[in-house]
Structure 1
Amino acid sequence: MTGKLAKVLKAIDSLSENTGKLFSFLILIMVGLETIEVIRRYILHSPTTWAWEVVVLLYGAHFITGGAWVLKEGGHVRTDILFSRFSPKMKAIVDLLLFAIIFFTFVGVMIWKYSIHAIYSWSIKETTYTMWAPPFYPLKTVVAISFIFLGLQGLAKWIRDLIFVIKGEEI
């Protein structure tokens, strides 16, 4: 059973990492768009009505999709004044408790609420409130899916911690 579970956990890790890496390349598009906007605005005196807003929407997708990958790598901010002094087993126990109480509650609410927002946004073909008014529903969908991925990665971490506490082995 541990072999099958390890494969599932590895698949979740791979999904988180590959999604994060894929969306990390949006930074290149954002830099390119901002460069074009600066040239058009300050050299050609012909700014766009859309570049800044596209960059903001892309940054939202870029930022939120990296959450699961950062969790996989253990890179989220942690106040570890006491935590860093704990043994690996005690760290796993603390994470088991805190993830069960705080993380899963937060992620569950975010999945629930953002899924509702995304569905509603698609139903009304929501746009931003600017002169250009690009569609807003793709970003809301990305946010909802990103929280699902974060929840899956958190579940993978929680299962790993549970196995470590019970069996003393890492998978």
Structure 2
Amino acid sequence: MTGFMRGFIRVVDRVNYRIGRVMMYGIFVLMGILLWSSINKTLFLPSLWTLEMAQFAMVAYYILGGPYSIQLGSDVRMDLLYGEWSPRKKAWVDLITVFFLIFYLCVLIYGAVSSTAYSLGYWGTEPFSFFGGLITGSEEIGRMERSSSGWRPYLWPIKTVMIVGMFLMLLQCISELFKDVLRLKGEAI
């Protein structure tokens, strides 16, 4: 079992590390969009797409970079008591609290999948079967949801990014759970 845990930790940490390192540069994409918007508003006619594209870029930056920040331990913690605890006590507390985070992420993923199915024109109550039907060819994409702004982009791409980011976050949380179990067993990670 520890071999499986170590392999899972190694694969998930490697994937999230690489994605996180790429997403670090997403801030420059966001800055470029906002710079273009400022120049365009000052010298030319304002663009319709810049504000919403900046929001989409920020969502991708934040959601896809989240697992990397958990991996590095740079997420926000209440350090009033936690900082003084022993590594074993920290592992026990982390082991318990990560279950709440995993449950929360599962709820978020279900909502994101439902929202993405809706954005692809599915009006039913079984979003997972809808995506399964898309793969097998028994379901069709309906009238796609668009933003209500003047630019009117389709919303399914950013909602798909949200699903991927939340799923990577879930995998990273399971990796952290496995790390805590190994710490409690006294094994090196």
Normalised by the length of structure 1, the TM-score is 0.91
Partner SS state of residue 44, structure 2: coil
Shift of 1:3: 4.0
Residue 126 of structure 1 pairs with residue 145 of structure 2: yes
Query: 1:114 — aligned with what?
Result: 112
Q: For 1:163 and 1:55, how far apart are their aligned partners in 2? A: 41
Q: Which amino acid aligns with 1:159?
A: F
Query: 1:32 — aligned with what?
Result: 32
Q: For 1:23 and 1:127, how far apart are their aligned partners in 2? A: 26
Residue 145 of structure 1 pairs with residue 164 of structure 2: yes
Shift of 1:121: 1.3
Q: Which amino acid aligns with 1:28?
A: F
Partner SS state of residue 66, structure 1: helix
More helix by share: 1
Shift of 1:33: 1.9
The residue correspondences of 1:10-159 to structure 2 (distance < 5 A) are 10-42=10-42, 44-100=43-99, 102-123=100-121, 124-159=143-178
Q: For 2:150 and 2:65, how far apart are their aligned partners in 1? A: 30
CA RMSD of aligned residues (A): 1.5
Shift of 1:85: 1.2
Q: For 1:34 and 1:144, how far apart are their aligned partners in 2? A: 25
Would you say the 8 A contact 1:160–1:170 is kept in 2?
A: no
Q: Which runs of 5+ in 1 are unaligned?
A: none
Q: Which runs of 5+ in 2 are unaligned?
A: 122-142
Normalised by the length of structure 2, the TM-score is 0.83
Q: For 1:75 and 1:30, how far apart are their aligned partners in 2? A: 22
Shift of 1:160: 1.1
Q: How many residues align?
A: 168
Would you say the 8 A contact 1:34–1:52 is kept in 2?
A: yes
Superposed structure 1 runs of 4+ greater than 4 Å apart? none
